[in-house]
Chains A and B, each alone.
Chain A
């Protein structure tokens, strides 16, 4: 029964998504809307708190905030950085599999100045 309801909801979502251009149900999602892939979000970050929670579009990480580098998973536990910033993290194989290569957003220009 639940599965049928979910399917119906998805169908409805698809049907409703077609005419809407500006504010979609599938693409161009606002912050706080449910998503499955970062491509859907205006902010290009589909964020989930943990492996079991639902994912929602979230703003990108600002400087000095915790972040993830771009991955193929499509969702993030910590969002990717805002433009011009780099997520400074140690990339490990384990981390790549579990999507937990966390780091902090840094401005690459600041680093040069410090060196």
Chain B
């Protein structure tokens, strides 16, 4: 009887903790925490590597336009353009996506404009075009394959693990985490809006976390909960640096009407992708922009987006300077032992996404209090900005208004400012307003510029303010 019981228990245990093993990659179980938890209710074993069909598409300085397909085969590897002395960056796509998608290839091409690297797009589309639960487990095999590839590079080219950087979008971010778990001392992992379902709140073994690499940075662009807002990305901070552009929840330019969203400037396909997951896909678009323009993506340390945006604090950059979001985030020295540092910034609604933050303090003078709005433009050594709406409501003479603006260009050293007011109502008394003093503070280096003015202007007329003369 005892024998029967123990046999049954053994079988049950077997049924619960099924395991598959693949050559070179090791074994994969569906034990806890991989399944059977509140976050991961459905158990799935990762597919066979054959079935997933992972491909590695290599770009180097020798072939910046077209990729070379490489594999774990030693001959193919050694005869490729792979440069063992250079840094290697992998890009891994997410659910339903494919490695030959424009954004991955473009990202490689853009990176090759600024640096001499090996850029490898990892294509696992057959493993990603299935049920979500299956795809969420297939990334374990894909991660193991990338780790095996890194191992091969290390043996054939004597490359150090610090020379590898894995960039992953959505499910690919957790896949990059898996790579980091398997490769000790991996240089860097970047998570572009890491996927939320089946990962948020899970143990560190399952998801991306700061222990996966020496430096882990993430960009959160779709962090609203999956239910009911259909936010695909996770809100949880999972890196050393976590960036929340535009608060991380709702991206500007993603609330267009259906027709305008689908009929996109970048084509119907890109538009359709945005229609399905605009916020979620913004993460790699931002990253792509940061490669050429790090200065426009300065992250301000802050506790939450309300504090950053609605109250407008967390400004200017602390003396240790702010990190750049995206590609150049690794220039920031993370204080030892610190992780999950949160940074906030605002971006544009379309390409180019870069923005530069300033704080303005405006003191106005006038005849009497009226309702209206104020616009201000900045002029500097690099050109001039647009007019920004800085206040709307009561315009009271003598009052000082404090606002933050995110300009689309870095005006450089601010040389003058222009002030304009309007209220769209004809007033026969022709009231006049003017700015007596404007102080601009630049976010990146806390530098102050002061401007003074004496004249007052009628509505819709620009008043120029010049630097104050002591």
Contact residues of A with B, CB < 8 Å? 9, 13, 16, 23, 25, 29-34, 54, 56, 59-60, 62-64, 82-85, 107, 109-110
Task: Say yes or no: A62 contacts B386, CB within 8 Å.
Answer: yes
| Residue of chain B at shortest CB distance from A10 | B259
Interfacial residues of chain B within 346-384, with CB under 8 A of chain A in the complex: 349-350, 375, 377, 379, 383-384
* Complex interface: chain A residues within 8 A of B384 (CB): 62-64
Task: Say yes or no: A84 contacts B460, CB within 8 Å.
Answer: yes
Give the shortest distance, in Å, between A71 (CB) and chain B (any CB): 20
A9 contact from B259, B460, B461, Cβ within 8 A: B259
The complex places the Cα of A72 from the Cα of B255 at a distance, in Å, of 30
Task: Say yes or no: A23 contacts B461, CB within 8 Å.
Answer: no
Task: Say yes or no: A109 contacts B263, CB within 8 Å.
Answer: no
Interface of chain A, helix or strand or loop or mixed? loop
| Residue of chain B at shortest CB distance from A53 | B265
Task: Say yes or no: A107 contacts B462, CB within 8 Å.
Answer: yes
Give the shortest distance, in Å, between A48 (CB) and chain B (any CB): 11
* B257 proximal to A (CB < 8 A): yes
* B63 proximal to A (CB < 8 A): no
Give the shortest distance, in Å, between B258 (CB) and chain A (any CB): 8
The complex places the Cα of A98 from the Cα of B141 at a distance, in Å, of 60
B461 contact from A13, A30, A109, Cβ within 8 A: A109
Give the shortest distance, in Å, between A112 (CB) and chain B (any CB): 11
The complex places the Cα of A31 from the Cα of B386 at a distance, in Å, of 14
Task: Say yes or no: A59 contacts B386, CB within 8 Å.
Answer: yes
- List 6 interface pairs A-B (beta carbons < 8 Å), by A numbering: A9-B259, A31-B350, A34-B259, A82-B387, A83-B422, A85-B462
Task: Say yes or no: A34 contacts B462, CB within 8 Å.
Answer: no
* Complex interface: chain A residues within 8 A of B438 (CB): none
* B331 proximal to A (CB < 8 A): no
| Residue of chain B at shortest CB distance from A23 | B255
* Complex interface: chain A residues within 8 A of B260 (CB): 29, 32-34, 56
* Complex interface: chain B residues within 8 A of A85 (CB): 462
The complex places the Cα of A31 from the Cα of B263 at a distance, in Å, of 14
The complex places the Cα of A23 from the Cα of B139 at a distance, in Å, of 40
* B256 proximal to A (CB < 8 A): yes
Task: Say yes or no: B386 contacts A109, CB within 8 Å.
Answer: no
B387 contact from A9, A16, A34, A83, Cβ within 8 A: A83
Report if A109-B462 is in contact (Cβ < 8 Å); known contacts: A31-B349, A32-B349, A64-B383.
yes
Task: Say yes or no: A34 contacts B263, CB within 8 Å.
Answer: yes
* Complex interface: chain A residues within 8 A of B460 (CB): 83-84
| Residue of chain A at shortest CB distance from B419 | A84
Task: Say yes or no: B253 contacts A32, CB within 8 Å.
Answer: yes
Give the shortest distance, in Å, between A61 (CB) and chain B (any CB): 9
The complex places the Cα of A109 from the Cα of B418 at a distance, in Å, of 11
The complex places the Cα of A25 from the Cα of B387 at a distance, in Å, of 26
Give the shortest distance, in Å, between B105 (CB) and chain A (any CB): 25
The complex places the Cα of A60 from the Cα of B389 at a distance, in Å, of 13
* Complex interface: chain A residues within 8 A of B386 (CB): 59-60, 62, 82
* Complex interface: chain B residues within 8 A of A13 (CB): 257, 259
The complex places the Cα of A110 from the Cα of B418 at a distance, in Å, of 11
Given contacts A62-B384, A82-B377, A109-B461, 16 further A-B contacts (CB under 8 A): A13-B257, A23-B257, A31-B350, A54-B263, A60-B386, A62-B377, A63-B384, A63-B418, A84-B387, A84-B418, A84-B420, A85-B462, A107-B418, A107-B462, A109-B464, A110-B464
A83 contact from B253, B265, B379, B420, Cβ within 8 A: B420
| Residue of chain B at shortest CB distance from A82 | B387
| Residue of chain B at shortest CB distance from A58 | B350
* Complex interface: chain B residues within 8 A of A23 (CB): 255, 257
The complex places the Cα of A111 from the Cα of B281 at a distance, in Å, of 46
The complex places the Cα of A83 from the Cα of B423 at a distance, in Å, of 12
The complex places the Cα of A85 from the Cα of B464 at a distance, in Å, of 13
